[in-house]
Every structure is written in structure tokens, then in C-alpha cells.
Amino acid sequence: RINGDRLWAALMELAKIGATAKGGVKRLALTDLDKQGRDLVVGWGREAGMSITIDQIGNVFMRRDGANNALPPVMTGSHIDTQPTGGKFDGNYGVLAGLEVVRTLNDLNIQTEAPIEVAFWTNEEGSRFVPVMMGSGVFCGAFSLETAYAAKDTDGKTVGEELERIGYKGDQVPGQHPIGAYFETHIEQGPVLEDADKVIGVVPAVMGLSWYDCVVTGMEAHAGPTPMGLRRDALQVSTLIMQEVVAIANRYPPYGRGTVGMVQVFPNSRNVIPGEVKFSIDLRNVNDELLNTMHGELLAFLDQARSDTGLTIALERVSYYPPCPFHPDCVNAVRSATAKLGYSTMDVVSGAGHDAIYAARLAPSGMIFVPCKDGISHNEIEDAKPEHLEAGCNVLLHAMLERAGR
């Protein structure tokens, strides 16, 4: 069994970096704070006797040798970047649970057959830079290193520059790093486990996701003298699309999701009819056919809106990954570890994307969920119980041991 207090202490220590007044964390990818967080975790890894490798997209791999180092490592990990108003657990838990597994193996002097690795992947959140889950995406070849390097934040800074600046542009070519199996522990980020009063969620699959940038272009004009009938108001047309995004999701329960999370209005002045509005669209479903249907309905609605309003409406897909079912071997390893430890459990489809879906393209993978308070995540009030975090980490330990051998 792992040491729950030590795990909790590590989480609280890491959460100090970028701590917000409301008890959350703001540590955006590749900022100075991200660098501080990375340095702290890497230092802990070294203290635990692990060797460190960094690849060209800034993914960090911390390795504990096995008895047979020719075997590909059994890996666990997640990310330590956060949302602008993020919490202490999203991502951070997965990384520090991995560290705690290694500390526990050290305490108990257990040597595994295969090596054990703890990874943290660059820019999982996708809030500062798209595509989302960038580090693991480049690692598995979902998109190129060049695409990732060129990604810009709203200030025009690129991933390439920022990686260099914080000193985390490593040497290793992404993907040239073998993985035997991959596990990721994570808070659920939804209400299902808490509602059902279960401790461990076994994750059969992750929903697919389609992200878009939509730009509606009308005509700026003065809010006073311009008669209502002569306006080409980009915001009013945008509100119709924003509502349709939710309507599309509502037509495909229970796993349809539709969200507009980011909006920019130009010129954004009280007495100017907006001439341009740019906003994000996030569509998800666990069934790829339904996700495609949702995509088609969005396109059809925009066609109709174009002909109804005469405004220019541009749509660009900026991220897409299909739903990802996990490997039966890893799902079963999680299931049997949970049973052995006697935790209450149920299956939970993940609505959030995770680095595990990209790892799953290269090696058998699986995930372990624990409840979070009120199902809230991507919020400074995100919270989780120490005993649940401890339980998830115990399951991780046993699932990894099963795959790594001892």
C-alpha cells in the first residue's frame, strides 16, 4: 500500500506554485510557473533515484530501472499544466500518484522485472496553446512537432520559443521512447462516481472530441444612429450559433456534449455594433458516428445561417480525436487490482480527453478515476478526498505491478 499522507503532501506542495486566491491553481503551459512546477517534480524524481529524459516537445520521463532493462517500461503519468482557473488535482494527481508508486517501491525494496516510468506531458490542457494534449499527441504522431512548435498563444508567443525559454526543449525525438503499458490516474472531472457513491472508476473509453474556431464577420457601425433593420451585427448571429451548439449536444444524450467556452468580440466597445466575433466550439461524443453527425449538423446550421443573414461565417476545425476505447488487458488490470483491494467501483466513460488516449496508440493503456467534489473540475474550487486519492494510487500500484512483474 502507498503512503496517502505523503501523496497528499506532495499535491499540496506542488499546488503552491501558481496558487490562486480562491484556492485553485493557475499554472499555464510553458510559463515561468510551469517551469517552477517541472523543476520541483523533476527534483523529487531525482531524489527517488530516477533518471530523467526530456524529449523535443518537453515531455519528461522519470525512470526507475527494472531487473530486465531490455523490457519496455510500464509507464504512468499525466500533466502538471493547469487551466487559467484550474484546481490542484487535474493532471497533478496522475503525476504525483506515479511518484508515490515509485517512493513506495523504494520503501519496500521491491524490484520490478520491467522498468517503471513516470511521465508528465507538455500542454495537456490546451488553454494557452492548441492542439490540446500536445505533448502526448506529438509523441504518438497525431500531429507533427512543427505544428506544435508553431502554435501561438493570444500574445503571439509560440510553443517552440517558450519551450526554449523555460529550458525544457529536450534532445530525444518524440515517440522514440518505448512503452510496454500505460496507466493514468485522474480525478473524474464529472459527477458520476460521487452520485453513485463509488471510490474507483474503471474507464472503458474516452469520448472523441472536435474543436473549432468560428469567426462571424458583420459590419461595425454606431449603436445609436444605425437603424435596427440595417445592421449586420456579428454578435447577434453568433448567439444563434452558440445556442445551436448546445442544442446539437442535447439531441444526442447521454454522451453528446456541446460547449462554447471562449469568445472575443471586436472592437468590443459599448456603442459599436460588433463587426467580428470569434468563438470556440467544443463537441464530444463517445460514439464516433454520432460525433460525425453532430459535426454535420453544425455545418448545416452554419450554411443556413449564412444564407439567412448574409454574414460571413468561417469555421475551422482546430483539434479532433476519435473516441478511444482502452485495451482490455489494462482495463482488466485496473478491475482486478480494485477487486483485490476491495474498493467499490463502477465503469465511467471519460468526457475529458487525457494523455492516455494518445499513449493508447502506441501501447496497451488504461485509466483509473477517483471522485471529485460535486463533479467540478476546470474550476478553482476543484476538490478531492485524500482517501479517494490514496485508493486510486493503490490501484495504480497494483495494476502496474501486475504488468511490470516482480
Ligand X SMILES: NC(=O)NCCC(=O)O
> What residues line the site for ligand X (CB under 6 A)?
90, 124-126, 132, 189, 222-224, 271, 352-354
What does 48 bind: ligand X, its own copies, none (CB cut-off 5 to 8 Å by kind)? none
Report strand pairing: 74-78 vs 51-54: unpaired
For the bound state, the minimum distance from the C-beta of residue 84 to ligand X, rounded and expressed in Å, comes to: 13
Residue 41: Cβ-neighbour burial (10 angstroms; 0-12, 13-18, 19+)? buried
Q: b or e along 115-152 (b: 16 or more beta carbons within 10 Å of the residue's beta carbon)?
A: bbbbbbbbbbbbbbbbbbbbbbbbbbebeebeebbebe
Number of other CB atoms surrounding residue 1 within 10 Å? 12
The angle formed by the CA atoms of residues 140, 146 and 152, to the nearest 5 degrees, is 110
What does 268 bind: ligand X, its own copies, none (CB cut-off 5 to 8 Å by kind)? its own copies
For the bound state, the minimum distance from the C-beta of residue 171 to its own copies, rounded and expressed in Å, comes to: 31
What does 384 bind: its own copies, ligand X, none (CB cut-off 5 to 8 Å by kind)? none
| Region of residue 197 (left: phi > 0; alpha: psi -120 to 50; beta: else) | left
Which residue ranges are tagged as binding site for Zn(2+)?
A: 79, 90, 125, 186, 378
Residues 293-352 that bind its own copies (CB under 8 A): 350-352
H helix or E strand, kind and range, residue 101: helix 92-107
Figure out which of the listed residues 171, 228, 316, 342 binds its own copies, where binding follows CB under 8 A: 228
What's the rounded Cα separation, in Å, for the pair 215 and 314?
5
Residues 357-376 that bind its own copies (CB under 8 A): 375-376
Figure out which of the listed residues 239, 308, 314, 344 binds its own copies, where binding follows CB under 8 A: 239
- Asked if 224 interacts with its own copies (CB under 8 A), we say yes
Q: DSSP readout, 209-239?
A: EEEEEEEEE-B-EETTTS-GGG-B-HHHHHH
Site string for its own copies, 259-298 (x = CB under 8 A): xxxxx-xxxxxxxxxxx----x-x-x--------------
**Which residues contact its own copies by CB under 8 A?**
83-85, 125-127, 130, 132, 188-192, 207, 209, 211, 219-228, 230, 233, 235-236, 239-240, 242-243, 246, 249-250, 253-254, 256-263, 265-275, 280, 282, 284, 350-353, 375-379
